Homo-oligomer: A and B are copies of this chain.
Amino acid sequence: MATAEEVKEQINAQTAAIAALKKANAPKDQIQAEVKKLLDLKAQYKTFASNNGNNQKAATGSKKNFTLKTPKGTKDYNDKEMAVREKIFTTIKTIFKRHGAVTIDTPVFELKEILMGKYGEDSKLIYDLQDQGGELCSLRYDLTVPFARFVAMNGSKYQNIKRYNIAKVYRRDQPSVARGRMREFVQCDFDIAGVYEPMVPDAEIVRIMKETLTALEIGDFTIKINHRKILDGMFEFCGVPKDKFRTISSAVDKLDKAPWEEVRKEMIELKGLPAEVADKIGTFVVCKGGREMCDFLEEKLGSNATAMEGINDMKLLMTYLEAFDVLDKISFDLSLARGLDYYTGVIYEAVANVPPESGKKKKSEDEGNVGSVSGGGRYDNLVGMFSGSRTVPCVGFSIGVERIFSILLRKMKLEEVKSNEVQVYVCSVGKGLLTEKMKICKELWDNEIKAEFMYKADPKLDKQFQVCEREKIPYAIIIGNEEIEKQVVKIKDQTNKESGNGEVVPRSEYIQYIKNLLNQN
């Protein structure tokens, strides 16, 4: 059900749509149909308003009707979703640790001034905390700026660090569940800070991207790479004025979503570039390939010193990527620009090659296009923005969990995911056996075996077996008065329909018996 706020937004959108139709001299019928929709929406909104009034009245009484929802752009993850997400986190952590990373943790909010001036136009998407006296704070927008702040603050001790951080970040963006774009979302960041042999950490970052995306089993993917200095050199070569490098770079960055014609128009009409300069850029940004791109670019841009710095970096990178066996996933792509201002060297972006869902037509850009699942680059000046003179060069990347999650969800049946890890269900036949079952559970827990029992005095056996089936619990221990008298338990393999009534095992041996069963699997 839509909330009042959502209906309000729909009303605004509908009003704008009608205005546009009128301006375009649309047929009267069509306009009238749209006006009808608007009136319906307004009526719907009125109901909200009057309900609200009632609520307020009710609140002064004893009970209040709550809007039972999470804030816009956020969501709850239930047990099955979390089982999938935890698996994603574990896979990523395992690989990050394999490359020697440690983890650090920073607060969810930072002093507002720490975030200011880092995100360009996107700064408007930052969530601020209310001024309740004291410092002005904002929710973190990414994990990179807090990491740079940490490195700057901790002086010489952390000039060299490989760290990962899996945590939530916040952006007041327009949410799109289909594309996995939320206002609260999890990022998994891996960064290497320190002065090292050129391009060596940069190459390991690409290797880690390949390793993680492969392990996550998201299907085919491509890692696009480019270099800010090659972009800058190319802009210079084409005749872009220096003060327009970043804004033209932003335009290039849109090429993964928009056709060249549109981007060209933006460059010329919006950003004031001469048409011949834009066209020259157009001949470059279509270029992509593998290692051979280095020679191609040297031939074209060899005369430009900035470009040559980048090209030499890329040559070295390719040598290292070969040693790390990642050339097969690489596309050296001149149309890759990356939005953020702070990159200074190599930039990366991994794109999942997701086929559109079968049997469905692609209705909009949103569908099927999960887009970038990971991105990053070298940022040598960010730490210096905090520490003043002392700079610490950094390179890193980030995996967007929400997009990985939405790709994986398409490939599985969520209802079949097992979310609990219980190994043994302790069951009873007959009456008055509750504390006996508790004692058995106690013994299982003491031995680190995951066990549950039904919180009911005298449950029927078939009800207890139903729980085993529903929760996919592999073993049942069954006791009745007879078993207690004989000091035995029955152990039944619930995964095997042929297992009969279960094995009778002496009470003194059943823990070891269960342990052996669990070790077999």
Contact (A71, B107) CB under 8 Å given A130-B128, A323-B439:
yes
**In the complex, residue of chain B having the shortest beta-carbon distance to the beta carbon of A147:** B76
Supposing A79-B163, A452-B99 touch, asked if A66 and B129 sit within 8 A by C-beta, the answer is no
Q: In the complex the two chains form, is B445's CB within 8 Å of A74's CB?
A: no
Please tell me if A72 contacts chain B, counting CB pairs below 8 Å. yes
A114 within 8 A of B: yes
Q: A320 and B438: CB pair below 8 A? A: yes
In A150-167, the 8 Å CB interface with B consists of 150, 152-154, 158, 161-163
Residues in chain B near residue A63, CB distance under 8 A = 388
* B98 x A86 contact (CB < 8 A): no
The answer to the question of A5 belonging to the interface, with a C-beta cut-off of 8 Å to chain B, is: yes
In this assembly, does A456 line the interface, its C-beta being within 8 Å of a C-beta of chain B? yes
- Interface residue stretch chosen among A132-140, A224-232, A406-414: A132-140
Which residues of chain A from 37 to 90 have any CB-CB distance to chain B below 8 Å in the complex? 63-72, 74-79, 82-83, 85-86
CB distance from A71 to the nearest CB of B (A): 5
Given B128, B131, B158, B419, which contacts A132 in the complex, CB threshold below 8 Å?
B128
Q: Which residues of B contact A110 (CB under 8 A)?
A: 70-71
| List of B residues within 8 angstroms of A280 by Cβ | none
Cβ-based interface call for A416 (8 A): no
Q: Does A296 touch B at the CB level, under 8 Å?
A: no
Contacts of A72 in B (CB 8 A): 134-135
A128-B132, A325-B442 known; A452+B100 contact, CB < 8 A:
yes
Among B106, B131, B445, point to the contact of A98 (Cβ < 8 A): B445
Minimum CB–CB distance for A429 against chain B, Å: 17
User: Which residues of B have CB within 8 Å of A386?
Assistant: 66, 68
CA distance A76 to B196 in the complex (A): 26
Expressed in whole angstroms, the Cα–Cα distance for A104 and B109 within the complex equals 23
- Give the residues from 293 to 309 in chain A that come closer than 8 angstroms, CB to CB, to chain B: none
**Most chain B CB neighbours (cut-off 10 Å) among A86, A161, A422:** A422
User: Which residue on chain B has the smallest CB distance to residue A106?
Assistant: B76
Given contacts A68-B153, A78-B104, A104-B77, contact A455 B325 (CB under 8 A): no
A152 B388 Cβ-Cβ under 8 A? no
CA gap between A98 and B444 in the complex, in Å: 9
Q: Which residue of B lies closest to A183 (CB)?
A: B107
Bound-state Cα–Cα, A74 to B138, Å: 13
Asked if A218 CB lies within 8 Å of chain B CBs, one says no
Determine the chain B residues whose CB is within 8 A of the CB of A211 once the complex forms: 445
Q: Please state if A161 and B113 are interface contacts (CB–CB under 8 Å).
A: no
Interface residues of A in 308-358 (CB under 8 A from B): 319-320, 322-325
Nearest chain B CB to A75 CB, angstrom units: 7
Complex contact A82–B108 (CB within 8 A): no
A102 touches B (CB below 8 Å): yes
Q: Which residues of B contact A162 (CB under 8 A)?
A: 420
What is the CA–CA distance of A284 and B497 in the complex, to the nearest angstrom? 58
Distance in angstroms from A204 CB to nearest chain B CB is 8
Complex CA distance for A320 and B184, rounded to whole angstroms: 42
Alpha-carbon distance between A106 and B76 when the two chains are bound, in angstroms:
5
Q: How far is the CA of A70 from the CA of B457 in the complex (A)?
A: 53
Known contacts A71-B137, A325-B442; is-contact A98 B197 (Cβ 8 Å) = no
Chain B residues near A439 (CB, 8 Å)? 323
**A65 near B129: Cβ-Cβ < 8 Å:** no
Tell me the minimal C-beta distance from A156 to chain B in angstroms.
14
A103 touches B132 (CB 8 A): no
Question: 7 interchain pairs (CB within 8 A)?
Answer: A67-B111, A69-B111, A77-B104, A78-B104, A108-B168, A200-B434, A320-B435
Q: Knowing that A82-B103, A100-B452, A129-B139 are A-B contacts, what are 6 other residue pairs whose CB atoms are under 8 Å apart, sorted by A's residue number? A: A70-B110, A76-B150, A78-B104, A82-B102, A102-B420, A197-B455
